[in-house]
Structure 1
Amino acid sequence: MKRDIIFYRVRSYLKYLLKSRHRKGYGIHSPFVFYLVRELFGEEHPFYAFKKIDAAKRMLLKNNMTIGPETLGAPSVTGDKRQKVKHFVKQGSLPAKYGELIFRLVNYFGAKNILELGTGTGLSTLWLALPDSRARVTTIEGSRQLSDFARRLFELVEVNNVRIINDAFNRVLPSLLDTTDHLDFVFFDGDHRREATLHYFELCLKKAHNDTVFVFDDIHWSPDMEAAWETILQHPSITVSMDLYRIGIIFFRKECTRQHYVVRF
């Protein structure tokens, strides 16, 4: 990893620490946001699926298979061209506390039509798929090796409500959305370029509704991603946005007053 990127992320994290607050919901006037921060973000109930995902992660952390350099977007964590699965998971997988939060969000909002851009090894997909076996999760991955690897993981964990598509986002997403009535939850990951992120956001926005939730991974990963996140926050359709440093969450609820929160998480 380049030194300037490391310094950038350190500075970015320090800025987040200085700006973040509302850890317990104090100072939040919106009942909707107060509940999310006070109850959902701080919930400690351990769903059974958490153990299942943790077991899958521990298994992957022992996997010495090498993943090749094939990629169709900006790599999310490291510029290394080849690396072992265990290193890929250790460096790039979504930390458990964020995965658990995504699980709780999917569960709380009853999301049934879920889209993920960037499957990776498939660990993040499990957080989206396991809250409700009746939900339909579509995940897109540009790398053939990662797609095949994730498909085997889903079979091993016995997850049957995931459809994985191996293709470039910009090639498959328009036609996929043409056959989709609406999106309840979208997890944006896998292509960390500003223009690409904004393009996929605009495409998915057409299928969003009042209760849709968009989650963006690695919003402070690079100047490009931070710029994309700042641009997204200005969109008039967004009413509530939340910066948790690693991830950014946006809502479109018309009954909420427009407000941006930087939440210590």
Structure 2
Amino acid sequence: MRKILQHLALKLIHLFNAKNRRGFGIHSPFLFGLVQQVLRNKHPYYCFAKIEAIRNSLRHSNQKIFVQDFGTGKSEQRSIAKIAKTSLATPKDAQTLFRIARYIQAKSILELGTSLGITTAYLASTGSNVKCVTMEGSEELNQIAQNTAHKANLNNIIFIQGNITENLKNTLEQHGPFDMVYFDANHTQQYTLLYFNECVTTASESSVFIFDDINTSFEMNKAWKQIIQHNKVTAALQLKRFGIIFFDPQLQKKTYYL
């Protein structure tokens, strides 16, 4: 109940502050274009129907798996259907990530938190020449995600299974740098900041980092506020669900609420 109340409170605060929703007040052509061509774009791309068909099949799966949470050390049995219905990015949000990756012409993408591989499929579908690296703690989720990629006919995904905290530095060294990093693992202030501080060491001026669920809890919102104050971060876009940061020194250090 407390988490629900926190989410509602943060949602109301965001709606009150959302002055730049249509791009008003954004003077950077790059950021204004992102708002108009990406965030407000509803045009369906070629791959959307195929990926959503895979999502739908997962929503009707009777299979149950054990999911290990390396953050808490706990393991619980969950149904694939429930995970697909409650734990994945919505079609709209996953498609927004797809459009962002295409807009910035990302050639290398890192995803923290593979889950069932639906968002992974969207990111990898941005181009056959795109290298998509995705990290997942749960072995059984990782196996299902690989099956998702197979069904989507995607062969440009590198799956890394195991404790993200332990594997992240080596992943960045072996496969980085990345044009885009999507943070969707272990939604706590402690681990979000830990992952960010590791990834930011390899960020270039053209890198884009996207954080999921920044308005779902006070601690995630606190993590987001700390991140946008980092000295390498310039502009930031705060959406209902996502937080997006940029490192381009030509952009004004400012947070826009959309």
Identify the TM-score tier after normalising by the shorter chain.
over 0.9
Contact preservation (8 Å) 1:22, 1:37: no
Structure 1 residue corresponding to 2:28, chosen from 30, 35, 47? 30
Contact preservation (8 Å) 1:183, 1:204: no
Structure 1 residue corresponding to 2:162, chosen from 145, 167, 170? 167
Unaligned runs of 5+ in 1: none
Structure 1 CA distance for aligned equivalents of residues 164 and 94 of structure 2: 22
User: Measured at CA, do residues 25 and 141 of structure 1 come closer, stay the same or move farther in structure 2, by a change above 3 Å?
Assistant: same
Partner-residue secondary structure (3-state), 2:76: coil
Runs of 4+ in 1 over 6 A off after TM superposition: none
Contact preservation (8 Å) 1:137, 1:163: yes
* Cα deviation, residue 69, structure 1: 3.9
Partner-residue secondary structure (3-state), 1:206: helix
Contact preservation (8 Å) 2:114, 2:120: yes
Match for residue 205 of structure 1? 200
Structure 2 CA distance for aligned equivalents of residues 229 and 55 of structure 1: 33
221-230 vs 123-132, greater mean Cα deviation: 221-230
* Cα deviation, residue 74, structure 1: 5.8
Deviations 1:211-259 (A, max 9, x none): 1110111112222211111110100111110111211111111111111
247-256 vs 25-34, greater mean Cα deviation: 25-34
Match for residue 8 of structure 2? 10
Match for residue 60 of structure 2? 62
User: Measured at CA, do residues 80 and 9 of structure 1 come closer, stay the same or move farther in structure 2, by a change above 3 Å?
Assistant: farther
Match for residue 129 of structure 2? 134
Contact preservation (8 Å) 1:73, 1:190: no
Unaligned runs of 5+ in 2: none
Root mean square deviation of aligned Cα: 1.7
Deviations 1:136-173 (A, max 9, x none): 11111000110111111111221100011111111111
For normalisation by structure 1, the TM-score amounts to 0.92
Contact preservation (8 Å) 1:74, 1:192: no
Match for residue 246 of structure 1? 241
Partner-residue secondary structure (3-state), 1:145: helix
Match for residue 140 of structure 2? 145
Contact preservation (8 Å) 1:111, 1:184: yes
Structure 2 CA distance for aligned equivalents of residues 74 and 94 of structure 1: 22
Match for residue 83 of structure 1? 78
For normalisation by structure 2, the TM-score amounts to 0.95
The letter of the residue matching 1:53 is I
Identity of aligned residues (%): 34
* Cα deviation, residue 80, structure 1: 9.7
Structure 2 residue corresponding to 1:46, chosen from 40, 44, 52? 44
Structure 1 residue corresponding to 2:250, chosen from 250, 255, 262? 255
The letter of the residue matching 1:225 is M
Structure 2 CA distance for aligned equivalents of residues 74 and 41 of structure 1: 34
